[in-house]
Amino acid sequence: MKRIYSISVENRSGVLAKIASLFRRRAFNIDSLVVGETGEPGVSSMTIVSSGDEHTLTQIEKQLNKKLDIIKVRTFAENESVNCELMLVKVHYSQNTRHEIMDVCTIMDAKIVDMSKSQMIIQMCDSPDRTSLLIHMLQPVGIIEVARTGMLALPRCFN
Amino acid sequence: MLGCEAMVKCLENEGVKHIFGYPGAVICPFFDSLLDSDIETVLVRTEQNAAHAASGYARINGGVGVCVATSGPGALNLLTGIATAFADSIPLVCITGQVESEQIGSDVFQEADVTGAAESFVKYSYYVTDAREIPRIMKEAFYIAGSGRRGPVLIDIPVDVQNTEIGDIEYPEKVQLRTYKPTISGHAVQIKKVAGVFSKAKRPLIYAGGGVHLAGAVSHLRDFAEKNGIPVVSTMMGLSVMPSDSPLFFGMVGNNGVPWANKAVAESDLIMMIGARAADRAVSQPEIMADGKTLIHIDADTAEIGKNAVPTIPLVGDAKKILKQMAGEDIKVPDTSEWLRTLEGYRESMGRKREKNKDYVDAAEFLELLTSCMKEKSIITVDVGQNQIWACNHAKVKEGTRFLTSGGMGTMGYSLPAAIGARKASSGRQIVSICGDGAFHMCMCELSTMMQTKAPVKVVVLNNTRLGMVREYQHYHYHDRLSAVELSGGPDIGKLAEAYGIRYLKLENMDGARGAVDEFLAGNDAAIMECILDPEALV
C-alpha cells in the first residue's frame, strides 16, 4: 500500500537530514521524496511517498507529527490527490525509429526538448503511472538514461 | 553581555541551581561565566555520567536536568547518557561546546557532528549560529524538554558564538512554537467513555508506567486506585508508584517481573495503561493487552498509542491532568473485593519457592532486608543486570521512596551517577545505590565525584565476579558456553574504598546481615557495602 505525505516544514538547516533520519531509524520506506519552496517565506514543502502496511503508514504520520520542524502533515492515497512528476528520458534514434518515437510522444503528451543526430531528450510531466508507461513504450527504441523528480502531490479540489 | 553570559543568565531564569558537566577548550567561555553565578557545577569524571547525574537530578526534582560537555570526545561521551534519557523520557537540556563556526566541516581538533550523531535520540536539537538567538533557544529547549512526552534537548554552540557580544538580553516569557503544542487535557468525550467502562468493569487493573512519575501524578493515581479499590501493576519505570506493601499493589509486569502481575494483566477485563508503552520487555505479546478486554491507554505521546497495543479508548494528554479530570467524573467501579482476593491468592500461590543460598549472600533476601531497613521517602538507584531484576522484584519500596533505574536503554553504570545527581536534588533523603560488579566497574570513577560533593550515598556492590546477567543468558541460551563474562581482575574493593576514604563493609553470607545493614545505613556518610554472591546465582 502506498501513501503520500505532504509536509510543510520550517526552512531551517538540517531539516531534510532530520526527516530522512527518522525514516532510516524506524526502517520506513521512502519511495520518493521531493523538496521545494512554498508560497510562504520560511516554509518548505516535502512530498514523500512511502509504502508499507496500514500500521506502518499510520506510524509514519504520527512520528512525523512529533518532529519539531514539521508544521503540518497531510496524508492521502494516490487517488485522493493530483499527482505528477517530471521526467527526462534520453533515447537513441535512427531514421527508422524517429517517427515511431514522435508518435509515442504525441500520444503520451510528451515533448522533445533536445536532440542531436542520434539522440534526443524527451520531457514529460504527468502522473507516475503515465511516466512509467512512457518508459515502457520507449524501451524498444533504446533508452540511454532516465531522470525522474519523484512525485509531487496536492489533494484534489472539492466544492 | 557575551553569548556565554547570556547562556548562564538564561539558566538562572529557568531556576537552574545545579549543572553536571566536564569542561574543555570550546566550552570554557560558558564555564568561565558560571563563576559569576550561584549555579553550582558538579564536575563528573566522564561525560556520560554528567547526563546520568542530570537524569537522577531531574527525576527527583521534577524539573529539567542540565549537563554540559565540550566538543568532539566530550560530546560523544555524552551520547550514551542522552540516549538513556531519551529511552526513559527524562527531561534534560544538554549543552555542548563546538569548534569555531568558521572551522565547521574542516575536521579540526575535537570536531564532531554531535547534533547529527544524536538526531535519532534527542527530542530536539539546536546548532546555534547567532548568539542573539540564545535566549529564545534556551527558553524553547527547557519548554520542549519538560513538556509533553519529556526528553533530552541538545544545544550545540560554537565557541565563537559564546564569545559574541550581544548587549543586554531579555529572556522571553513565552515560547512561540507553531510546530509544537503538546496536548495536556484529555478529550472530554473520551473521559466520559472511561468513566462508562469503569462502571461496568468486573476485574479492572491499572498498569502504571514511568509517565506517571514524569507527570507528577503519583498521588493522583493512588487516590484513584484507593478510592475505587483498583489493583495496580507497574512497569520497571513505573516502580515506586505505590509502596510495596500497599494491598492494591501487585508488582512489576513483564518477562522479568512477577508471575502474579502478568496473571493480573491476562485475567483483567479492563486495563487502564497510563504513562506506559507496552514495551517488549513489559508485554511480550502486546495483542493480549487488548484481546477480549477493554484497554484504556493514557499517554502524553500520540505515537505511543496503538504502536504496540491497540486500545479501545485512546486518551492523549498529561497523566496528572487526565486523572484530575477523571476525579471530576462520577465513576462508580463495582465492588472489586473478589477480584482483589483472587489476585492475593495468585501472589501467595505463584511466589517462587526459592532455595536460599547459605554459602554466599542471597541477593534477593539481602535486598529485601536492606530496603526494609531504609527510611521512608528515600531514594534507591539501581543499575542494570541481575542486580536490577533482583531489586525490581525484591526491594521493599516504602512510602514516598523513589526507585530509579535505566529501563528503556538498560545502560550499565547508571546507578552511581544518578544517585549523585539525585542527592543534589534532595537534601536529607537517604540514598542507596545498588549495582553489580560489572556496572560498578563502569561507574566507579564517580566515587571521586561522590566524595568531592560530599554525597552520602550508600553504595551496594553485588559482587559475583561475573557479568551475571549475560552469564545467565549464556547459561540458558548457549548451554553454559560462557564467553567473556568473567571479571576476575579485581580490584580489592575494600582497598579501593580505603583509597577514596570511603567507609567499607563486606558481607560474605547472610549471617549477621541485619547488623551489617544497620551499620551500613547508619550515619550521614558515604559507604560501600560489598556483598559476595554465588557466581552461579540466577535471578
What is the C-alpha separation between B401 and B381, in angstroms, rounded?
11
Q: Is B123 on the interface with A (CB under 8 A)?
A: yes
Parts of chain B belonging to CATH 3.40.50.970: 3-162, 363-532
Q: Could you tell me the pTM of the whole model?
A: 0.94
Give the rounded distance of the alpha carbon of B53 from its chain centre.
Answer: 10
| DSSP codes joined into one string, A113-153 | EEE-SSEEEEEEEE-HHHHHHHHHHHGGG-EEEEEE---EE
- Selecting from 3.10.450.50, 3.10.560.10, 3.40.50.970, 1.10.1370.10, what CATH number does the domain B3-162 have? 3.40.50.970
What is the pLDDT at residue A78? 84
Domain boundaries of chain A, sorted by first residue: 2-76, 82-155
Beta carbons of B129 and B100 less than 8 angstroms apart = no
Contact indicator for B201, B228 with CB cutoff of 8 Å? no
Residue with cell 549464556: B474
| Joined grid coordinates for residue B340 | 482483589
Q: Is the peptide bond before A140 cis (omega within 30 degrees of 0)?
A: no
Kindly determine whether residue A62 and residue B180, on different chains, have CB atoms separated by under 8 Å: no
Mark yes or no for CB contact A66/B116 under 8 Å: no
Q: What are the chain B neighbours of A58 within 8 Å (beta carbons)? A: 306
Identify the bridge partners of residue B435 per DSSP, sorted by sequence position.
B461
Instruction: Indicate the CATH number of B363-532 among 3.90.380.10, 3.40.50.970, 3.40.50.1220, 3.60.15.10.
Output: 3.40.50.970
Residue A117: the pLDDT is 95
Identify the closest residue of chain A to B129 by CA–CA distance.
Answer: A13
Sort out which chain B residues have CB atoms less than 8 A from A66's CB and list them. 301-303
How far CA B81 is from CA of B15, B53, B66, B90, B289, in Å, comes to 23, 9, 12, 11, 31
Task: Please give the class, per CATH, of domain A2-76.
Answer: alpha beta
Beta bridge partner(s), residue A143: A91
Residue from A16, A62, A67, A71 whose CB has the most chain B CBs within 10 Å, to mutate? A62
3-state SS string for B439-504: HHHHHHHHHHHHHHCCCCEEEEEEECCECHHHHHHHHHHCCCCCCCCECCCCCCHHHHHHHHCCEE
Same fold, A2-76 and A82-155: yes
pLDDT at residue B371, as a whole number: 98
Q: How high is the pLDDT of residue B260?
A: 95
B506 touches chain A (CB under 8 A): no
Which residues of chain B are in CATH 3.40.50.1220 domains? 188-350
Q: For residue B282, what pLDDT is reported? A: 77
B89 near B105, Cβ under 8 Å?
no
Query: What fold is seen in the domain A82-155?
Result: Alpha-Beta Plaits (3.30.70)
- Integer Cα distance of A63 and A60 in angstroms: 5
pLDDT tens across the length of chain A (159 residues): 899 999 999 998 889 999 999 999 999 999 999 999 888 999 999 999 999 999 999 999 999 999 999 999 999 988 899 999 999 999 999 999 999 999 999 999 999 999 999 999 999 999 989 999 999 999 999 999 999 999 999 889 987
Q: Which of A76, A74, A77 is nearest to A46 (CA)?
A: A74
Residues of chain B with pLDDT under 70: none
Which residue in B132, B145, B324 sits closest to B219, CA to CA? B324
> What CATH architecture does domain B188-350 belong to?
3-Layer(aba) Sandwich (3.40)
Which chain B residue lies closest to A63 (C-alpha atoms)? B303
Distance CA B417, CA B419 (A): 5
In this complex, do B115 and A14 lie within 8 Å of one another by their Cβ atoms? yes
